[in-house]
Structure 1
């Protein structure tokens, strides 16, 4: 969630798309289906075995990292599912399922003759596993012994953690102050370790309430509050922030 992927509060970005359709083009449904099948086939849930050759791990985090690795100018140039396609394609290349040269050659074939039939395949075991995965889901909640540093009503500050590949912390919340609205029961993980960003082991999650004047001083309406669910690693005492500044 680097700058180009979370633009809250920024001005002068041009017209905003108000498209409400989930899928605008037919091919977008195929990209969504590929992504879903990849998650189901790599899931660690006790699901039926299949003859699929897909043997690596793919999660929402991998999809997001693939999109966020785009040059910011390319990111704004491509549509939503085009970014998905780029992330998925890069993953298959990086993990040895296809080479960049092979992918380029196939792309040129379809550019030259769009009427070429798209390869079809099907296996009931794979279909059953995908359906079961969609029904059962993958919960981020874990049974873990964790301590809760804050309670409802506490004033907290949001850290400015170093982010390299991926972060779950919106940029416009960094360094801001809010109030704990909810302390969620249990501990939660993300889909992968975010490295220097600090999300890995199971930890508490807090819902933090922010006032618009704190986020966008003298530049926002005042008849609303903004709420964000944040991992505990992103949240600290305002006293800790003051000590660091000193």
Structure 2
């Protein structure tokens, strides 16, 4: 494990509680709406112009980084949208939209009077842009051609890349070997550069099959295969070429 948000494949973590409701409290719908609006106003897609003062870039990756940079104890303490709220609030402070002092003062006002009306706002052009963004989406695919020296059937090793704020590589796959099941057509970007983690310019993406006995030696159920879609930066030919040929 490298970060607290990637615990898959680990044992002895205690009981798992799964919340089946999409939103637990009404305020969570507003957080989802704010996040969606921020993404729609950030995208470079040809969408309607708006009078919004939001001029920076916000992506799913920024949301994830904001949540995952929490102290691990806080990460496990807060619910899903509470982490979103923390990440979004930190982003607005870091980018100068509001100061921490202003945010604290507003928070205290609503603690003191929960029934206080929320500020009026909204603009038809912004609403139109958000709706169009939701309908059209934004594909990470950047080309139709894939240039790679790896092919279906190749045995590959999964790198143990450094991860600081955010990673797309599950901890339990690091240092393991698998077999390429699919080389996806085209090259793909992520929503932001992940720094030392390695995702940046558009690159190939592979579906890699893993034998559970390789991941959890002597402690895996039989007759199943685990598949993972991984960016090329995480994948490399084994150091021992003979091992790859033998496989």
* Shorter-chain TM-score above 0.5: yes
Greater mean alpha carbon deviation, residues 216-225 or residues 185-194: 216-225
RMSD over aligned Cα atoms: 1.7
Aligned equivalents of 1:166, 1:240: Cα separation in 2:
30
TM superposition score normalised by structure 2? 0.94
Greater mean alpha carbon deviation, residues 232-241 or residues 106-115: 232-241
Aligned equivalents of 1:97, 1:188: Cα separation in 2:
31
C-alpha distance after superposition, 1:63-87 (max 9, x if no partner):
0110111000000000000000000
| Residue number in structure 1 paired with 2:166 | 166
Greater mean alpha carbon deviation, residues 11-20 or residues 117-126: 11-20
CA contact (8 A) 2:41 2:130 kept: yes
1:120 positional shift? 2.9
TM superposition score normalised by structure 1? 0.94
1:12 positional shift? 2.3
Matches within 5 A, 1:77-226: 77-143=77-143, 146-226=146-226
| Residue number in structure 1 paired with 2:22 | 22
CA contact (8 A) 2:146 2:185 kept: no
| Residue number in structure 1 paired with 2:72 | 72
2:52 is equivalent to residue 52 of structure 1: yes
Structure 1 residues not aligned, in runs of 5+: none
Aligned equivalents of 2:92, 2:121: Cα separation in 1:
18
CA 1:145–1:152: 2 relative to 1, 3 Å = closer
C-alpha distance after superposition, 1:8-56 (max 9, x if no partner):
1222222211221111111111100000000000111111110111000
Q: How many residues align?
A: 243
1:240 positional shift? 5.9
2:63 is equivalent to residue 63 of structure 1: yes
CA contact (8 A) 1:157 1:241 kept: no
CA contact (8 A) 2:158 2:176 kept: yes
CA contact (8 A) 1:183 1:206 kept: yes
